[in-house]
Amino acid sequence: MRSVLLACFAVLWACAVWAVQPDEVLDDPILEARARAISALIRCPVCQGESIDESNAGIARDLRLVLRERLVAGDSDDQVIDYLVARYGEFILFRPRASGANLILWIAGPAMLAGGLAGALLYLRRRRSAATGPQALTTEEEARITELLKE
């Protein structure tokens, strides 16, 4: 069983290593490092669960080449990302920008968490006050009960 798991891990690791082809690698190590950092942020339109750096799909290769061409042309990281988003939409970003309609999605999660925590605190506070049991009667309440029982 262990050897099967090791073989599966080796195949998965090899697939990830083979994604970027040797002819795609830039000669400048600084530009190549920037290209790798950017390509880790871009989702493969075909695989959807992998970055273009990890994917073996044809479109991922094309995106890697375009990304490197833009970097060689002198574009900044943000300009390259903006170019790819303009062509393929924000879906290709693993971390969508917190603006426009996406802002609702960014705020919804923390807001629901805060609402849930507030509801849980209210529930626990009410439960604690109900669990304390009956309170002792005041002297006025005891006098009133005595009067009512005499009638």
What's the whole-model pTM score? 0.56
Residue 97: inside a domain: no
Domain end, chosen from 71, 92, 113, is at: 92
Query: Phi and psi at residue 40, in whole multiples of 5°?
Result: -75, -20
The domain that holds 17 is classified in CATH as 1.10.8.640
What is the Cα–Cα distance from 106 to 98, expressed in whole angstroms?
6
Looking at per-residue pLDDT, the higher value among 100 and 111 belongs to 111
Distance from C-alpha of 106 to C-alpha of 138, rounded to nearest angstrom: 53
Domain extent for 10: 2-92
70-87 pLDDT, tens digit per residue, is: 988 888 888 999 999 899
53 with 74, same domain: the answer is yes
CA distances for 88 relative to 82, 84, 100, 104, 132, angstroms:
10, 6, 17, 21, 61
